[in-house]
Chain A
Amino acid sequence: MITVENLTKRYGPHPAVDDVSFQCEPGTVTGFLGPNGAGKSTTMRMICGLTTPTAGRATVSGHPYQELPNPGREVGVLLDASAQHAGRTGREALTLSAYTMGLDRREVAAKLDLVGLNAVAAKRRVRAYSLGMRQRLGLAHALLGDPRVLILDEPANGLDPEGIFWMRGLLRDFADRGGTVLLSSHLLREVEAVADRLVVIGGGRIVAQGDKNELLAGGGTVVRARDSAALRRALEVANLSAADSSEGLLVQADAEAVGQAAADAGVALAELRPASGGGLEQLFLTLTAGESTKEAVR
């Protein structure tokens, strides 16, 4: 469980994070989305007590991070996979943390195995690791203390497609067993596959948050029929507003309602699907478009 209440961080007059509040429940994966520089990392560092907030507070499992007696056993943190001593071996980096947390040495080998770093890789110095290997090491590090909460900043960065697929499975599994995951990314697609909830941040402020399906459904349904005039009439009868789009008619309703309307009027459909990316992607793209649009989408 992670609770963030009105977190604010100012660097000079410029607010990097502005009054951000959200909650991550056990058993869920929360995707923390936003363009580069939106304040995702700063928020995560404030949750982990590494950056002092200007205002507001954050708790992990009910306690401020600094008050957790042995944080590594409660919350696994991966904020930057490159933040490892280049001259240490992967195994040594984990061993130091295992010893700090008071864990059995066997945990190190178990977690290295879990993330797919074999004995040869574990003995190499981190300097020689690819970004993907560093991410795996960072994930092993986050999982080391068998925490109940995971806080991961861009963990898929540098992973190959197979690695991303593997990581999704791992995080899904972790949440399904009652764990809490907060996962940041600037790529909507990457998070979409695994997250239950989304928190979207732009310019330091939360612009959208809620259930993933609800947010993604915001885009409506695309429907296409050979006889588009008949389809349009059918939708009118069902009191559904439709707009033209390059892909067909864009209807502000779910696929079930649209399909029923068409069936009632006896119109054969050629295509029926949720609008691609939905409103969230639109929102997301608008966010990345620049400073001036940020106010408009709020």
Chain B
Amino acid sequence: MTTTTAPAAGAVAPRHHTPVRRPSLLRLTGVEVRKLVDTRAGRWLMITIGLATAAIVTLQLIYAGDADQTFLNFFVPSLLPVSVLLPVLGILSITSEWSQRTALTTYALVPRRERVVAAKLIAVSLTALASVLTSLAVAAVGTLVASATGGAGTWQFDWSLILNAAVLQVTSVLMGAAFGLLLLNPPLAIVGYLLLPTLWGVLGEMVKPLRGPSEWLDTSKTMEPLFSSDAVTGGQWGRIAVSLLVWMVLPLAAGLFRTLRREVS
């Protein structure tokens, strides 16, 4: 027996402590944010999201015409690669608990599973909002560089674009999380998330009777106005809402139901 493994006297004595309170949602959200970045995979996903933004702006600086080098033209395209990567973050945040089997620990410490799920959804939404700030910052740097190197470097843009960007990125990450909750398996959820809406989009193009519904249900179509510099109309918001109901709210509800009932082992 070595000294390192000798039980220190008193150290394992069960203490009688004052009544303990349950962890707040804020605390749980903090834990979930930390889980997003405390593994190599998570950290690299975050870094990749940041790099994608920077890469788009750099490409614009090199290849776009001088007149097109505006803040608006840096900001809007930088949203696209991020909106593709964020759902992966949402999926992994939910499914890694099951694939890495940490659910056993997580749900033993917080048996009210809906609180963990809520904390995860808040954590990934905060990440999505942070990505919008990153896009804004990188676009600002791009604009400064552009004005120094002969580009237009104009700052003119509509503030509603920031709201649109926030809606786009938060719903992207939540759609991913919803697929993760529903399928509870990383490869399945990622493939499902990438494949199903695309398949639906292709079908909408090919099959004539589906063209009408696809105007309302194909997220790649309904979300398009969020990228444009024109204000999003009420009708367009309606379509966004309907498509999100199908691709985000329904999987979230069904996934939550499944997660709450699933046996953890």
Are the CB atoms of B27 and A102 closer together than 8 Å?
yes
Assign chain B's interface to a size class: 35 or more
Chain B positions 118-171 with a Cβ under 8 Å from a chain A Cβ = none
Q: Which of B1, B14, B22, B111 contacts A65 (CB 8 A)?
A: B111
Are the CB atoms of B35 and A178 closer together than 8 Å?
no
Chain B positions 67-120 with a Cβ under 8 Å from a chain A Cβ = 96, 100-105, 107-112
| Contact A73:B38 (CB < 8 A) given known A82-B101, A143-B12 | no
Are the CB atoms of A83 and B34 closer together than 8 Å?
no
CB B260 to nearest CB in A, in angstroms, measures 10
Kindly state whether residue A13 has any CB partner on chain B within 8 Å.
no
- Segment of B2-10, B52-60, B235-243 engaged in the interface with chain A: B2-10
Are the CB atoms of A114 and B11 closer together than 8 Å?
yes
Chain A positions 75-108 with a Cβ under 8 Å from a chain B Cβ = 77, 79-80, 82-88, 92-93, 96-97, 99-102
Kindly state whether residue A32 has any CB partner on chain B within 8 Å.
no
Are the CB atoms of A87 and B102 closer together than 8 Å?
no
Name which of A50, A51, A73 has the most chain B CB atoms within 10 A of its CB.
A50
CA A264 – CA B13 in complex, angstroms? Answer: 49
CB A208 to nearest CB in B, in angstroms, measures 26
CA A173 – CA B35 in complex, angstroms? Answer: 34
CA A66 – CA B100 in complex, angstroms? Answer: 23
CB A81 to nearest CB in B, in angstroms, measures 10
Chain B positions 18-62 with a Cβ under 8 Å from a chain A Cβ = 19-23, 27-28, 30-31, 34-35, 38-41
Are the CB atoms of B108 and A52 closer together than 8 Å?
no
Residues of A within 8 A of B233 (CB): none
Q: Which of B14, B22, B100, B265 contacts A84 (CB 8 A)?
A: B100
Kindly state whether residue B208 has any CB partner on chain A within 8 Å.
no
Q: What 0/1 readout, one digit per residue, does chain A (123-150) give for beta carbons within 8 Å of chain B?
A: 0000000000000000001010011110
Identify the A interface with B (CB < 8 A). Answer: 41, 45, 48-52, 65-66, 68-74, 77, 79-80, 82-88, 92-93, 96-97, 99-102, 110, 113-116, 118, 141, 143, 146-149, 162-163, 165-166, 169-170, 173-174, 177-179
Residues of B within 8 A of A146 (CB): 13-15, 17
| Contact A96:B35 (CB < 8 A) given known A70-B22, A84-B105 | yes
Residues of A within 8 A of B2 (CB): 116, 162
| Contact A70:B21 (CB < 8 A) given known A100-B27, A100-B110, A170-B7 | yes
Are the CB atoms of A74 and B20 closer together than 8 Å?
yes
CB B103 to nearest CB in A, in angstroms, measures 8
| Contact A147:B7 (CB < 8 A) given known A49-B111, A50-B104, A83-B105 | no
Are the CB atoms of B264 and A96 closer together than 8 Å?
no
CB B186 to nearest CB in A, in angstroms, measures 13
Are the CB atoms of A48 and B108 closer together than 8 Å?
yes
CA A50 – CA B34 in complex, angstroms? Answer: 24
CA A113 – CA B11 in complex, angstroms? Answer: 10
Are the CB atoms of A71 and B108 closer together than 8 Å?
yes
Residues of A within 8 A of B11 (CB): 110, 114
Q: Which of A73, A115, A170 contacts B17 (CB 8 A)?
A: A73
CB B52 to nearest CB in A, in angstroms, measures 22
Residues of A within 8 A of B9 (CB): 173
CA A177 – CA B13 in complex, angstroms? Answer: 6
CA A77 – CA B102 in complex, angstroms? Answer: 13
Give me 7 A-to-B residue pairs in the complex whose CB atoms sit less than 8 angstroms apart, sorted by A's number.
Answer: A50-B264, A69-B21, A82-B101, A100-B28, A100-B109, A102-B20, A118-B4
CB B113 to nearest CB in A, in angstroms, measures 9
CB A96 to nearest CB in B, in angstroms, measures 6
Are the CB atoms of A51 and B6 closer together than 8 Å?
no
Which 10 residue pairs spanning A and B have beta carbons closest together? A87-B39, A83-B101, A116-B5, A50-B264, A69-B22, A179-B14, A148-B14, A70-B20, A83-B104, A177-B13
Kindly state whether residue B263 has any CB partner on chain A within 8 Å.
yes
Residues of A within 8 A of B40 (CB): 87
CB B106 to nearest CB in A, in angstroms, measures 8
Are the CB atoms of A66 and B112 closer together than 8 Å?
yes
* Seed contacts A70-B22, A166-B1; 8 additional CB < 8 Å A-B pairs: A69-B21, A73-B20, A92-B38, A96-B38, A115-B5, A148-B16, A163-B5, A173-B9
Residues of A within 8 A of B17 (CB): 73, 146
| Contact A52:B261 (CB < 8 A) given known A70-B22, A72-B109, A87-B41 | yes
CA A169 – CA B34 in complex, angstroms? Answer: 35
Are the CB atoms of B7 and A88 closer together than 8 Å?
no
Q: Which of B5, B14, B22 contacts A178 (CB 8 A)?
A: B14
Are the CB atoms of B265 and A97 closer together than 8 Å?
no
| Contact A174:B105 (CB < 8 A) given known A45-B264, A100-B27, A116-B5 | no
Are the CB atoms of A68 and B15 closer together than 8 Å?
no
Residues of B within 8 A of A115 (CB): 5
CB A108 to nearest CB in B, in angstroms, measures 13
